[in-house]
Chain A
Amino acid sequence: MSDGRLSVFKTYKLYVGGKFPRSESGRVYEVTDPKGKWLANVPLSSRKDARDAVVAARKAFGGWSGATAYNRGQILYRIAEMLEGRKDQFVREVAQSEGLSKSKAADVVDAAIDRWVWYAGWTDKIAQVVGGANPVAGPFFNLSTPEPTGVVTVVAPQESSFLGLVSVVAPVIAAGNTVVVVASERAPLPALSLGEVLATSDLPGGVVNVLSGRTGEIAAPLAAHQDVNGIDLTGADEVLAKELEVAAADNLKRVFRPQAVDFSADPGTHRLTAFLETKTVWHPTGSLGASGSAY
Chain B
Amino acid sequence: MPTTAPAFADVTASDSTLRRFLHGLPGVDAVGLEGRAASLGTRSIKTTAKAYAIDLAISMIDLTTLEGADTPGKVRALAAKAVNPDPTDRTTPTTAAVCVYPDMVATAKEALKGSEVKVASVATAFPAGRAALPVKIADVRDAIAAGADEIDMVIDRGAFLAGDYMKVYEEIRAVKEASGSARLKVIFETGELSTYDNIRRASWLGMIAGADFIKTSTGKVAVNATPANTLLMLQAVRDFKEQTGVQVGVKPAGGIRTSKDAIKFLVLVNETAGEDWLDSHWFRFGASSLLNDLLMQRQKLATGRYSGPDYVTVD
Question: Which residues of A are at the interface with B, using a C-beta cutoff of 8 A?
Answer: 138-140, 284-294
Task: Please list the 3 inter-chain residue pairs (A to B) with the smallest Cβ-Cβ separation, ordered nearest first.
Answer: A286-B30, A284-B31, A289-B194
Choose the segment among B103-111, B153-161, B220-228, B282-290 that binds chain A (4+ C-beta atoms closer than 8 Å): B220-228
In the assembled complex, which residues on chain A have CB atoms less than 8 Å from the CB atom of B32?
284
Residues of B within 8 A of A (CB-CB), count: 17
Assess the B29–A290 pair: CB atoms within 8 A.
no
Tell me if B12 counts as interface (CB < 8 A to partner A): no
Partner of B199, one of A139, A287, A290: A290
Determine the residue in chain B with the shortest Cβ distance to A292.
B223
- In the complex with contacts A290-B226, A294-B222, A285-B31 CB distance below 8 A: yes
B190 close to chain A: CB less than 8 A: yes
List 12 additional A-B contacts (Cβ < 8 Å) besides A284-B30, A291-B228. Answer: A138-B31, A139-B31, A140-B31, A286-B29, A290-B30, A290-B190, A290-B196, A290-B226, A290-B229, A292-B223, A293-B191, A293-B222
Partner of B228, one of A138, A140, A288, A290: A290
Question: Quick check: is B244 within 8 A (CB to CB) of the other chain?
Answer: no
A293 in contact with B31 (CB, 8 Å): no
Task: Tell me, in angstroms, the Cα distance from A268 to B65 when the chains sit together.
Answer: 73
Answer yes or no: B174 CB below 8 A from chain A CBs. no
Residues of B within 8 A of A287 (CB): 30, 34
Q: What are the residues of chain B within 8 A of A293 when measuring CB–CB?
A: 191, 194, 222-223
Count of inter-chain pairs, beta carbons less than 8 A: 47
B31 A290 Cβ-Cβ under 8 A: no
Q: Which of A287, A291, A292, A294 has the most CB of B within 10 A?
A: A291
B313 in the interface (beta carbon within 8 A): no
Q: Is B51 an interface residue (CB 8 A)?
A: no
Q: Does B278 contact A (CB under 8 A)?
A: no
Nearest CB on A from B31, distance (A): 4
* Chain A residues touching B, majority SS: loop
A291 touches B31 (CB 8 A): no
Given contacts A139-B31, A284-B30, contact A290 B222 (CB under 8 A): no
B193: Cβ under 8 A from any A Cβ = yes
* B195: Cβ under 8 A from any A Cβ: yes
Q: CA–CA, A264 to B229, complex, Å?
A: 65
CA gap between A294 and B191 in the complex, in Å: 10
**Bound Cα distance from A293 to B217, whole angstroms:** 14
User: A-facing mask of B33-49, CB < 8 A → 1, else 0?
Assistant: 01000000000000000
Contact residues, B16-33 vs A (CB, 8 A): 29-32
The distance from the CB of B161 to the nearest CB of chain A, in whole angstroms, is 12
Chain A to chain B contacts (Cβ below 8 Å), 8 pairs = A139-B30, A139-B31, A284-B29, A286-B30, A287-B30, A287-B34, A292-B191, A292-B222
Chain B 43-75: CB-based contact to A (< 8 A → 1; otherwise 0): 000000000000000000000000000000000
Most buried by B among A285, A288, A293: A293
Contact A286 B31 (CB under 8 A): yes
Q: How far apart are A286's CB and chain B's nearest CB, in angstroms?
A: 3
Which single residue of chain A is at the shortest CB-CB distance from B255?
Answer: A292
In the complex, what distance in Å separates the CA atom of A295 from the CA atom of B24? 27
The smallest C-beta distance from A280 to any residue of chain B, in angstroms, reads 17
Bound CA–CA A139/B32 (angstroms): 10
Counting chain B CB atoms within 10 Å of each CB, which of A139, A140, A289 scores highest?
Answer: A289
List residues of chain A with CB within 8 A of the CB of B191: 289-290, 292-293
- Cβ of A290: which chain B residues have Cβ within 8 Å of it? 30, 190-191, 193-196, 199, 223, 226, 228-229
Cβ-closest chain A residue relative to B34: A291
**Chain A proximity mask over B185-220: 1 for CB below 8 Å, otherwise 0:** 000001101111001000000000000000000000
Residues of B within 8 A of A289 (CB): 191, 194-195, 223
Cross-interface CB contact of B226 among A139, A140, A288, A291, cutoff 8 Å: A291
B154 → chain A, closest Cβ, in Å? Answer: 17
Assembled-state Cα–Cα distance A139/B38 (Å): 14
In Å, the complex CA distance between A286 and B196 comes to 11
* Contacting residues, chain A, for B199 (C-beta < 8 A): 290
Closest to A138 in B: B31
Instruction: Tell me how far the C-beta of B267 lies from the nearest C-beta in chain A, rounded to whole angstroms.
Output: 17
Taken together as a complex, chains A and B put the C-alpha atoms of A274 and B228 apart, in Å, by 45
A284 to B30, CA, bound (A): 8
Looking across the interface, which residue of chain B has its beta carbon closest to that of A287?
A: B30
When chains A and B are docked, how far (Å) is the Cα of A38 from the Cα of B195?
Answer: 79
Distance (whole angstroms) from the CB of A148 to the closest CB of chain B? 31
| Least CB separation from B29: chain A residue | A284
| Min CB gap A283→B, angstroms | 9
CA distance in complex: A285, B195 (Å): 13
- A293–B194 alpha-carbon span in the complex (Å): 8
- Write the nearest CB–CB distance from B219 to chain A, whole angstroms: 14
- Minimum distance in angstroms from A201 CB to a CB of chain B: 46
For A284, the chain B residues whose CB sits under 8 A away are: 29-32
Contact B226 A292 (CB under 8 A): yes
Q: Which residue of A lies closest to B33 (CB)?
A: A291
Minimal beta-carbon separation of A282 from chain B (angstroms)? 10
